[in-house]
Structure 1
């Protein structure tokens, strides 16, 4: 794992942010016709199946041992639990509150990675995360509400913890080939989401509107296959805490695409908040000190 990312890793990170940030637009189109859990289950089931077929066709190794542990934990945390908690919270939590809560993912990652011995604690990583989170507050101030049920806030916090921990378990239990790991992880997450859809009484149906199929195609291809393969690619070459800063850039991309595709206005607060977010990301993730951020032995320290 390199301490300072090279240009290829930074380009992969940028593409990851671009694709994942625009997922919000695709999800909005899909949810006009389908329930959240069932649509996510279909999305990850198809994407996972495509990746598993690619794994078989290209003769890639099936994860075993510690790699399998990392793959399964990544699937449960990153796909199954995180999306379950997030979608349940969105029933009563406005977009601004959701944006702010998920903005603490880098902060949680910095702290959890240090506590679990995956990375040394970096003060500038913490400072950058706080600055960038403040930028998200500015961006989402118009939609921020404190009148949110405690259960929804706890669910949002649980989703943020799952997202943060999913990156950390990948560092502790490297899942190996990103195609194989994501294929298996997505299928596991899809199964969990399908069960939740049935338990909550969502309608199990196939979409009929062309715009729903178009949005779903984007979410399956660039939004899932490309995004999560890039996630594991970047995590293998950068720290978990630095990679987690992508969560702070997703809302900025979503606002830009909302303005382009849906003609939504861009407020001055977005420009100010966006600049603060970018400054925080640079301080916490891109600008690296001379000392290594990883545990000195190259192996995770005992938890």
Structure 2
């Protein structure tokens, strides 16, 4: 049943989604301190895929075939495999607040890619939002370009934005599959890719010794991968996709505060000035309705 617009339940779902997803990048930072990035990502999505496959079984959902199966796997490779391989690599050296702020560009990047692929019409508002967001990226990238953060890590996070956005655009062209099935199949395919990439990179396949790493893994699997997906799906049903996309604007605010508290992320002037510019650009270009 569709929740009434503006209902307390929908607002609570929105708040819970923002809080849980806002901690994802912080959890990845803690995971990266003990586990190699690709190995940590593979563990995360392998475990999350197992949980969702169990949910599929309990819900008696059928396994997709043909184009539907190929589409779900392609979606998973982009949305989980490529995106998080790049994001995990970047978050070794980039603080969570900066990383999540850059990821806030996803709705705007998806809109621009959708225009380029003739799925949506170009709008002047999108151009204005792009200029604001790019200016914000220029401000927050001031420190990386000066050498305090490796440029390659910064570019990897931008690559994660493009991969995530392209997956969002692609899913509209794929055969319709139940969302739980789409994510279960996609995460399974991504996990296989991440495990293979981890082995090729020579990662140490070890289980964590630190309690903090186990807690971080549990968080990003159960809260950051499974629960966030369910909550976001509920929010889309209650508010519709456009309004639900506001979570991308709130994520960085939560992450910056959590990262400053738990990970000692410095609140630099460039981050404090650039983050609002990026969020404003995303709002104007991709989220604002006339």
Given the two structures, how large is their TM-score scaled by the length of structure 2? Answer: 0.79
Alpha-carbon distance, 1:277 to partner: 3.8
Deviations 1:10-47 (A, max 9, x none): 87666444333311111111112111111110110111
Say whether residues 1:227 and 2:220 are aligned partners.
no
Alpha-carbon distance, 1:155 to partner: 4.6
Whether the 8 Å CA contact 2:101–2:252 is kept in 1: the answer is: no
Say whether residues 1:60 and 2:65 are aligned partners.
no
Whether the 8 Å CA contact 2:101–2:278 is kept in 1: the answer is: no
Alpha-carbon distance, 1:192 to partner: 0.6
Deviations 1:85-107 (A, max 9, x none): 3445567x755986786565444
Q: Cα distance 1:155–1:271, how it changes in 2: closer, same or farther (>3 A)?
A: closer
Question: In the comparison of the two structures, how many residue pairs are matched?
Answer: 281
Correspondence for 2:241: 238
Whether the 8 Å CA contact 1:80–1:192 is kept in 2: the answer is: yes
Correspondence for 1:32: 33
Alpha-carbon distance, 1:221 to partner: 0.9
Structure 1 unaligned residues grouped into runs of 5+: 290-303
Task: Tell me the secondary structure at the aligned position of residue 241 of structure 2.
Answer: coil
Distance 1:46 1:186 in 2: 9
Alpha-carbon distance, 1:74 to partner: 1.3
Greater fraction helix: 2
Alpha-carbon distance, 1:151 to partner: 6.4
Task: Tell me the secondary structure at the aligned position of residue 38 of structure 2.
Answer: helix
Say whether residues 1:144 and 2:144 are aligned partners.
yes
Please list, as runs of the form range in 1=range in 2, the aligned pairs for 1:148-297 lying within 5 A after superposition: 155-173=156-174, 175-230=176-231, 237-238=240-241, 243=245, 249-262=250-263, 264-267=265-268, 270-289=271-290
Whether the 8 Å CA contact 1:105–1:160 is kept in 2: the answer is: yes
Distance 1:104 1:281 in 2: 6
Correspondence for 1:80: 81
Distance 2:154 2:171 in 1: 26
Q: Cα distance 1:126–1:22, how it changes in 2: closer, same or farther (>3 A)?
A: farther
Task: Tell me the secondary structure at the aligned position of residue 144 of structure 1.
Answer: helix
Q: Cα distance 1:178–1:90, how it changes in 2: closer, same or farther (>3 A)?
A: same
Alpha-carbon distance, 1:179 to partner: 1.4
Structure 2 unaligned residues grouped into runs of 5+: none
Distance 1:232 1:116 in 2: 25
Given the two structures, how large is their TM-score scaled by the length of structure 1? Answer: 0.76
Distance 1:282 1:35 in 2: 35
Alpha-carbon distance, 1:197 to partner: 0.8
Q: Bigger CA drift: 101-110 or 20-29?
A: 101-110
Task: Tell me the secondary structure at the aligned position of residue 202 of structure 2.
Answer: coil
